[in-house]
């Protein structure tokens, strides 16, 4: 039968409840033979070393020691059921703490902490926790033999790590197992003895090393390292909330990630598993159902970049000068100088010109490194062959790691595109010939943004879009519903990942990270006071490839910001007519920004809601057709009124009826004034290339000027007094066999008019559905029979659909498979 080795870290053994969870996990496991390696309870090793330091420096320490002793005794009381077992465990703990008290007292007498004694003290936490777990299992009727690793492991220190004497250690374990045969051993991690028998440790993070050492000694089938996270992640989740769990890694990938600061596993811990070809699993004690991350000799080539990791508090040291060019042995002198002084070099970057050598070293060693190199190259500097040696502090090294990167074009491009998109400057670059790692040096202040940007570049779809909506009124809410309904389909079929990250009204805003939930409700969701600048910054997340702002308001103040947003690369989509029909100088600036930059400004829904009016006009112009005339009915409200208006009817009563039915704006004068129709005509004129302003449109208002400044109720009450004039116009039209329609017209010379007209009964505008909009394009190609675009031109759902269609057009430009 095969052995499985389980190693539990301090977070898994933090208290009695956690240790109980570990015991249940072990008992429920299917394998019959277990070697269980344990760390000290959380925080205990640090406290032991602090006690040693306090004793040697003359500080008070006995109270802290008593608290640490009581913590372990209380844990034993909570875990062990039978009186005999509890007493035995307490005796072991009391003896251990008695020994510790004597050692600490000796430190107080000597005023120092000898190295060997410090290692003795540092390793006592593992002895205590192994005793607690083994005693708890025994009290549950489970087999659990306590093993002090100092009786088994023999090691010697080397420059890189504690090297295990495998032959001696294997013989000692074999002898122990003959004398104490069992199906489950509970073993102290971290501690060992040197070849000469002196107590030692395997170094900080040595408990993981102990786990893989015993995995090799037991000939284990698998090694499971249990911690408080589900496995190795693609990035640090504190910096990148979207970090993903990695299913599998090769040993080499894990080495690289661990070296560059990936938590959970230490580089040297994998060496014994690699030598014995034993797969290592990183798993979560508190979520044992998660399979975790498997590390083995093979890994997988997908995804090509397995993770992003980094080293903080670094500095770049640069040796620069023309005298370096073509001079053999320069690099050797640099590294020999630093090696002799114990300066660790984490990254090397040198251009093919050999004009400079750039080294990344720990920040606290940068000054020393510069001083040493200046001394070593003093002669060359004196003769001007080397111009300077200098350091740049505040550097973060970031590395992308993955065996699938090898031989795959575009990986480096994706890395640097992501950094460029986030506006991050790269100070130095390094890549080995194996192509398994690309490292960059950046400013520490940019590190979090860079991590998010790189992670998004490799782990998110290139068509991931951050969406912010301004104006959650009728149209805005309808759009949010449509986005929620179509989101999953677009993600699966078009690889389009739309993330609604913010919604803003005129006074409040709602922000989501990584996005707002689909079922959020504005009335109940937590809201903040509107800070438009912060809202935009949140939507324009630097770690996401694209940002789109959708303005469903009717605010000119919001439209004033379009140029700023386009300039920073944010796409703008809107049914708001203010920007398209407002001051011509602002409009022209927006057009220039759209044409010169990468951001799109789409406004199809400003004319005809969901009807493709602007797109049809653009298609005609782009294919070389010449516009002779545009005519149309652009108001669903006015279309409704004049489709219903008939002999014997009061126009004022009809307006009241439409207002009650919700077909008009809250103030019906907004519809009757014709100003909204005029705005639409200006937008079409400008699309044709005409510099038309709103005040150049001749507008016939159907709202009497005498009622301009009264309340809505007073307006509706007073409108009847003006019925006679419009009734006479209707009668005259009927007499001539015509109908009344409120028509907008535009000619290529800029003549623009919005007026109530009499049209023949056979005119295309004469027979419309109640609220239809219609546009007729008379062109060189469509000269005898105009091109007609007709359909519902108002209402939240169709207007939202027009906005949604613009959103999909922008997404198609970004590469979505639509």
Active site residues: 680
> Judging by DSSP bridges, how do beta strands 464-470 and 546-551 pair with one another?
parallel
Contact 93, 131 (CB under 8 A): yes
**Helix spans in 111-235 (H):** 115-122, 124-139, 166-179, 206-218
Contact 281, 246 (CB under 8 A): no
Question: What is the DSSP code (8-state) at residue 616?
Answer: H
How far apart are the C-alpha atoms of 576 and 89, rounded to whole Å?
Answer: 75
**Helix spans in 3-61 (H):** 16-28, 44-56
How far apart are the C-alpha atoms of 366 and 316, rounded to whole Å?
Answer: 8
Contact 293, 282 (CB under 8 A): yes
How far apart are the C-alpha atoms of 131 and 141, rounded to whole Å?
Answer: 16
Q: Is the peptide bond before 422 cis (omega within 30 degrees of 0)?
A: no
Rounded to 10 degrees, the C-alpha dihedral 581/583/588/593 comes to -90
Cβ partners under 8 Å of residue 527, min gap 6: 508, 509, 510
Residue 505: exposed, middle, or buried by beta-carbon count in 10 A (0-12, 13-18, 19+)? middle
Tokens matching residue 440: 């960059």
Q: Is the peptide bond before 514 cis (omega within 30 degrees of 0)?
A: yes
Planar angle of CA 40, 193, 215, nearest 5 degrees:
65
Tokens matching residue 532: 């438009």
- Closest C-alpha to 732, from 753, 756, 701: 756
Q: How far is the CA of 578 from the CAs of 20, 607, 699, in angstroms?
A: 66, 12, 18
How far apart are the C-alpha atoms of 765 and 740, rounded to whole Å?
Answer: 10
> Judging by DSSP bridges, how do beta strands 154-157 and 4-8 pair with one another?
unpaired
**Helix spans in 688-780 (H):** 712-718, 723-735
How far apart are the C-alpha atoms of 551 and 571, rounded to whole Å?
Answer: 11
3-class state of residue 497 by DSSP: strand
Secondary-structure breakdown of the chain: helix, strand, coil percentages, each rounded to the nearest 5? 45, 20, 35
Contact 120, 52 (CB under 8 A): no
How far apart are the C-alpha atoms of 654 and 657, rounded to whole Å?
Answer: 5
Instruction: Calculate the CA 742 to chain-centre distance.
Output: 51
Question: What is the DSSP code (8-state) at residue 6?
Answer: E
DSSP 154-186: EEEE-SSSEEE-HHHHHHHHHHHHHHS--SEEE
Which H/E stretch holds residue 448? helix 447-459
Instruction: Calculate the CA 585 to chain-centre distance.
Output: 38
The neighbour count for residue 359, using CB atoms within 10 Å, is: 26
Helix 62-79 and helix 16-28, axial crossing angle in degrees, nearest 10: 40
The neighbour count for residue 520, using CB atoms within 10 Å, is: 17
The neighbour count for residue 37, using CB atoms within 10 Å, is: 30
Q: How far is the CA of 456 from the CAs of 449, 459, 461, in angstroms?
A: 11, 5, 8
Instruction: Calculate the CA 629 to chain-centre distance.
Output: 50
How far apart are the C-alpha atoms of 790 and 765, rounded to whole Å?
Answer: 10
């Amino acid at each position: 039968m095969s052995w499985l080795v389980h190693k539990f870290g301090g977070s898994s053994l933090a208290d009695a409840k956690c240790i109980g969870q570990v015991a249940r996990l072990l008992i429920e496991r299917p394998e019959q033979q277990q070697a269980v390696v344990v760390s000290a309870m959380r925080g205990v090793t640090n406290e032991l070393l602090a006690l040693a330091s306090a004793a040697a420096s003359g500080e008070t320490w006995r109270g802290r020691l008593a608290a640490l002793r009581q913590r372990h005794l209380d844990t034993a009381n909570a875990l062990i059921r039978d009186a005999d077992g509890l007493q035995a465990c307490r005796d072991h703990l009391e003896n251990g703490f008695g020994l510790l008290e004597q050692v600490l007292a000796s430190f107080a007498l000597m005023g120092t902490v000898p190295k060997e004694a410090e290692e003795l003290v540092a390793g006592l936490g593992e002895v205590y926790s192994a005793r607690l777990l083994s005693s708890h299992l025994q009290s549950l009727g489970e087999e659990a033999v306590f093993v002090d690793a100092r009786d088994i492991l023999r090691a010697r220190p080397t420059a890189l790590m504690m090297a295990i004497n495998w032959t001696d250690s294997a013989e000692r374990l074999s002898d122990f197992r003959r004398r104490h045969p069992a199906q489950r051993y509970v073993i102290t991690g971290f501690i060992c003895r040197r070849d000469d028998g002196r107590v030692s440790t395997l170094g900080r993070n040595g408990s993981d090393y102990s786990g893989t050492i015993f995995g090799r000694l037991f000939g284990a089938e698998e090694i499971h390292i249990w911690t408080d996270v589900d496995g190795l992640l693609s990035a640090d989740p504190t910096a990148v909330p979207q970090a993903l769990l990695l299913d599998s890694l090769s040993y080499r990938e894990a080495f690289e990630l661990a070296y560059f600061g990936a938590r959970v596993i230490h580089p040297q811990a994998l060496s014994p598993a690699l030598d014995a070809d034993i797969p290592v699993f990183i798993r979560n004690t508190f979520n044992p159902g998660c399979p975790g991350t498997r590390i083995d000799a093979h890994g997988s080539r997908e995804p090509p970049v397995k993770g992003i990791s980094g080293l903080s508090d670094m500095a770049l040291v640069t040796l620069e000068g023309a005298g370096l060019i073509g001079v053999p042995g320069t690099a050797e002198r640099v590294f020999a100088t630093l090696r002799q002084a114990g300066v660790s070099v984490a990254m090397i970057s040198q251009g093919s010109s050999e004009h400079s050598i750039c080294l990344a070293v720990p920040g606290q060693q940068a000054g020393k490194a510069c001083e040493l190199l200046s001394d070593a190259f003093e002669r060359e500097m004196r003769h001007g062959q080397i111009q300077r040696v200098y350091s740049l502090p505040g550097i973060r090294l970031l590395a992308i790691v993955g065996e699938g990167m090898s031989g795959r074009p575009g990986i480096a491009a994706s890395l640097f595109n992501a950094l460029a998109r986030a506006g991050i400057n790269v100070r130095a670059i390094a890549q080995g010939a194996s192509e398994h790692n690309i490292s960059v040096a950046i400013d520490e202040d940019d590190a979090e943004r860079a991590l998010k940007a790189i992670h998004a570049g490799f782990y998110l779809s290139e068509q991931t879009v951050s969406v912010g909506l301004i104006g959650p009124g009728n149209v805005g809410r309808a759009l949010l519903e449509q986005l929620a309904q179509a989101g999953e389909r677009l993600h699966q079929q078009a690889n389009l990942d739309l993330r609604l990250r913010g919604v803003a009204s005129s006074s409040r805003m709602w922000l989501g990270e990584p996005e707002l939930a689909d079922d959020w409700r504005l009335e109940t969701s937590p809201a903040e006071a509107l800070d438009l600048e912060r809202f935009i910054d949140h939507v324009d997340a630097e770690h996401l490839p694209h940002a789109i702002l959708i303005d469903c308001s009717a605010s000119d103040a919001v439209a004033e910001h379009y140029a700023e947003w386009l300039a920073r690369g944010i796409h703008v989509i809107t049914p708001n007519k203010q920007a398209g029909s407002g001051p011509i100088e602002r409009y022209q600036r927006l057009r220039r920004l759209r044409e010169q930059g990468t951001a799109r400004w789409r406004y199809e829904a400003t004319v005809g809601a969901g009807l493709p009016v602007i797109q049809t006009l653009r298609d005609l112009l782009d294919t070389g057709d010449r516009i002779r005339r545009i005519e149309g009915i652009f108001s669903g409200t006015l279309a409704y009124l004049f489709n219903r208006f008939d002999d014997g009817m009061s126009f004022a009563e009809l307006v009241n009826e439409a207002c009650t039915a919700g077909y008009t704006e809250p103030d019906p004068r907004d519809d009757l004034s014709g100003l909204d129709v005029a705005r639409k005509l200006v937008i079409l004129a400008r699309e044709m290339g005409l510099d038309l302003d709103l005040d150049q449109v001749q507008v016939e208002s159907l709202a009497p000027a005498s009622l301009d400044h009264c309340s809505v109720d007073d307006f509706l009450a007073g409108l009847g007094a003006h019925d006679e004039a419009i009734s006479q116009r209707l009668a005259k039209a009927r007499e001539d066999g015509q109908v009344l329609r409120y028509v907008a017209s535009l000619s290529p010379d800029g003549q623009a008019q919005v007026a109530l007209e009499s049209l023949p009964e056979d005119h295309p505008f004469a027979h419309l559905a109640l609220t239809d909009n219609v546009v007729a394009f008379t062109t060189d190609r469509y000269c005898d029979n105009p091109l007609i675009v007709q359909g519902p031109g108002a209402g939240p759902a169709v207007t939202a659909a027009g906005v949604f269609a613009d959103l999909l057009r922008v997404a198609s430009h970004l590469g979505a498979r639509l």
